[in-house]
Amino acid sequence: MDAPQMKAMTEATRLTREGRLAEATALIQQTLGNPAASRRTPDVPSAGQETGRTPGHDPDTPPALPAGRGTKLRRAIPGWLTRRRTPPSQDDETPVRPSRPAAPVENQPPAPVKRPPAPAVKRPPAPAVKRPAGQFEAYSYANAAGTRAYRLYVPSGHTGDPMPLVVMLHGGTQDAATFAAATGMNDLAERQGFLVAYPEQPSSANPGKFWNWFVPSHQRRDDGEPSLIAGITRQVIERYGADATRVYVAGFSAGGAMAAVMATVYPDLYAAVGVHSGVPYAAASDVVSAFTAMKQGSSRPAGSAGRPVPLIVFHGDRDSTVAPANAAGLIGDVLAAASPDGSPGTPPAVVTTGQVPGGHAYTLTRYQDPAGVALAERWIIHHGGHTWSGGVAHGSYTDPRGPNASAELIRFFDEHAVGNE
């Protein structure tokens, strides 16, 4: 027995002791039947060895790729055997060797009475698996600043009539498909009828796939990453006939910071903006000041150029990655832009509190202009961390115990359109 076979037998012994008999049997049969195949089999981790982490609980752990991206494969567990569940037919050509009658034994109990088999119960066929009705396809856009891939969800009800468009910007270490799965935004789009575009930051642009919101060349109109995101937005509007008066942008963490950039430099393109766990526009100009802003909030005075874009903000008050003070900075910028003298002031505000059943409490503050039009909303999730509030369970950076940020984003966006402010 050579070394690979010995290693395989040792592993089979361990599997047997753990009660994993099917895997042990398969490994033995594979080893004895095809020694070369066993040498190609990767090492199996020993019992108790950590093989992975839940995405979203460790910022250094790349998020798991959700189902639905790329070619769909049938899941198979290596080493399991396909067993024949029905007895061989009488018409099988393989002869069956008759067994010899056993020798008579004294005081042997009578043979059991043969009973006819019970009639088969006719069961209804299993229902077909329900698959997503809309289309979730990959595209790309290029201009002088480079190329960016993006995913686009088109609901099944799209007939060519103008639909709203929501542009979603993922956080660091995430990608478009992961962010879509975590937020559940495609499900909302299918039910409520809107398009969703997910621009994707490659590791070639930032090793952690963070949007470069803290670099001055990526904080200007028609330059850098803002020009690429705006280009993707316009491309979707043109190709799918989206309603240009109902186009919105939102993001999480670094994506939230870049969403604030987009609303500031393209106020004519986006009717409203959503920032989840992000920082204000131009809060940093390099990596050092970026970390300072994330930990302490923006040090610059409130206020930004351009018309005020209605804003909805979500932030956990236990966020140790991006300080909750940044939520106040974001609100301050919008209120200053809406003020005649450029200062935040104290516009009419309505404060309400709530509690998710079995989950987090939250405080919602609504800011309105003198005419009663909503300028901004700030949602503070109590005991919430650096996660997408109300996201899917076990998703990438999600906390299902918080209020549903995705649903509240769409509700807020639905209240605003370009030209109606």
Task: Return the CATH number at 161.
Answer: 3.40.50.1820
Structural domain contains residue 55: no
Residue 307 falls in which region: left (phi positive, over 0), alpha (psi -120 to 50) or beta = beta
Tokens of 292: 């300072």
Same domain, 351 and 233: yes
Per-residue pLDDT of the chain (421 residues; tens, 9 = 90+): 445 545 655 665 565 556 565 565 455 545 444 333 333 322 222 222 222 233 333 333 333 333 333 333 222 222 222 333 333 333 333 333 333 444 443 444 445 445 555 555 454 554 443 445 799 999 999 999 999 999 999 999 898 899 999 999 999 999 999 999 999 999 999 999 999 999 999 999 999 999 999 999 999 999 999 999 999 999 999 999 999 999 999 999 999 999 999 999 999 999 999 999 999 999 999 999 999 999 998 877 666 555 789 999 999 999 999 999 999 999 999 988 887 766 666 667 899 999 999 999 999 999 988 777 889 999 999 999 999 999 999 999 999 999 999 999 999 999 998 765 5
Measured in residues, the chain has a length of 421
Tokens of 236: 């979707």
Q: Is 224 helix (H, G, I), strand (E, B) or coil?
A: helix
Please give the C-alpha separations between residue 53 and each of 48, 50, 58, 172, 385, in angstroms, as whole numbers.
Answer: 14, 8, 8, 17, 18
Same domain, 220 and 326: yes
CA–CA separation, 340 and 373 (whole Å):
16
Number of domains in the chain: 2
Structural domain contains residue 299: yes
> Quick check: 364 and 378 in contact, CB under 8 A?
yes
Scanning the structure block, which residue is given the tokens 């039009």?
373
* pTM over the 0.75 mark: no
Same domain, 32 and 152: no
Structural domain contains residue 46: no
Structural domain contains residue 88: no
Structural domain contains residue 192: yes
Same domain, 32 and 144: no
Structural domain contains residue 48: no
Structural domain contains residue 318: yes
Structural domain contains residue 104: no
Same domain, 162 and 281: yes
Same domain, 165 and 31: no
Full residue range of the structural domain in which residue 226 is found: 135-413
